[in-house]
């Protein structure tokens, strides 16, 4: 279940529906043949506390996804392909994995050539790794070729993958918002321009990293007020 916080926040007052759903889900998960993974933003985890008795184990097994180390990024890139090596038409060699780790880290003192050089310090955004690897996998799979340093260079590398993701998502969000009654007086082009400016000045830090912002921040309220409703934050949360 992805973005599981939506269960709580889509309609906070509809407690009966939440309990009905979680009772059914809890009953299903009593069967040892069924397992479930719930993914949600960490700041909303405590909002589930009053419902935990409806689920087996009360969601006691938890894992917080933090920044990845170089070692963690290496494993995240290479292990899925190794695990599916017999069925997959795509593979990746170790030096290419090192190159991706270098590019994702952005500040590597010396070229990585062996695993013993990999740092254990957290420094790599999991979202960035996911976007880059998905982009590389899709292009390599479609062409039925392995992921190599040449493929990375042709694709434009990490920066190009992240740029492509940003461009596609900002247009998608703008088009969706333009069809909503609360924002129908605005064109998708106008909404896109407003969002771009807001993201560049609010969600990107002076150090050019991803910035956190609280939902009750005045800058969020100002953006929502322009489009009459809490539409924008919901849409951006889905892709941020």
Q: List, for residues 162-209, the tens digit of each pLDDT value.
A: 888 888 888 888 888 788 776 677 788 888 888 888 888 888 877 767
Dihedral over alpha carbons 240, 10, 43, 121 (to 10 degrees): -30
Which SS3 state, helix, strand or coil, does residue 92 take? strand
- ∠ CA 204-155-115, nearest 5°, is 80
Residue in 146, 110, 104, 94 with CA at minimum distance from that of residue 127: 104
User: Can you tell me the mean pLDDT for 129-138?
Assistant: 87
Burial of 61 (0-12, 13-18, 19+ CB in 10 A): exposed
Choice between 216 and 119, residue whose per-residue pLDDT is larger: 119
For residue 238, name the pLDDT band (cuts at 50, 70, 90): low
For residue 143, name the pLDDT band (cuts at 50, 70, 90): confident
Contact 181, 199 (CB under 8 A): no
Choice between 164 and 24, residue whose per-residue pLDDT is larger: 24
Of 4-8, 15-19, 93-97, 232-236, highest mean pLDDT? 15-19
Instruction: Kindly list the distances between the CA atom of residue 183 and the CA atoms of 52, 173, 177, 216, 239, in Å, as whole numbers in the listed order.
Output: 37, 12, 6, 21, 19
* pLDDT exceeds 60 at position 229: no
Choice between 118 and 226, residue whose per-residue pLDDT is larger: 118
Residue in 59, 4, 49, 70 with CA at minimum distance from that of residue 29: 59
Element spanning 96, H or E: helix 94-105
* pLDDT exceeds 90 at position 37: yes
> What single-letter DSSP state applies at residue 234?
H
For residue 219, name the pLDDT band (cuts at 50, 70, 90): confident
For residue 82, name the pLDDT band (cuts at 50, 70, 90): confident
Residue in 64, 68, 54, 60 with CA at minimum distance from that of residue 19: 54
Instruction: Kindly list the distances between the CA atom of residue 46 and the CA atoms of 3, 5, 49, in Å, as whole numbers in the listed order.
Output: 14, 10, 5
């Amino acid at each position: 279940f992805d973005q599981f916080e939506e269960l709580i926040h889509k309609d906070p007052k509809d407690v009966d529906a939440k309990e009905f759903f979680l009772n059914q889900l809890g009953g299903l998960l009593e069967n040892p043949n069924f397992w479930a993974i719930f993914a949600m933003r960490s700041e909303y985890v405590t909002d589930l506390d009053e419902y935990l008795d409806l689920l087996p184990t009360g969601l006691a097994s938890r894992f917080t996804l933090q920044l990845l180390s170089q070692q963690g990024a290496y494993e995240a890139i290479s292990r899925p392909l190794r695990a599916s090596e017999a069925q997959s038409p795509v593979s990746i060699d170790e030096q290419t994995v090192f190159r991706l780790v270098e590019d994702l880290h952005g500040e590597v003192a010396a070229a990585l050539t062996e695993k013993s050089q990999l740092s254990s310090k957290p420094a790599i955004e999991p979202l960035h790794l996911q976007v880059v690897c998905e982009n590389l996998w899709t292009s390599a799979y479609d062409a039925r070729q392995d992921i190599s340093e040449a493929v990375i260079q042709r694709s434009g590398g990490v920066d190009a993958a992240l740029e492509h993701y940003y461009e596609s998502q900002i247009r998608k969000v703008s088009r969706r918002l333009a069809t909503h009654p609360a924002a129908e007086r605005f064109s998708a082009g106008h909404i896109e321009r407003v969002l771009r400016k807001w993201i560049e000045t609010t969600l990107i830090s002076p150090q050019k990293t991803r910035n956190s912002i609280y939902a009750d921040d005045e800058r969020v309220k100002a953006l929502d007020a322009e489009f009459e409703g809490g539409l924008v934050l919901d849409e951006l949360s889905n892709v941020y």
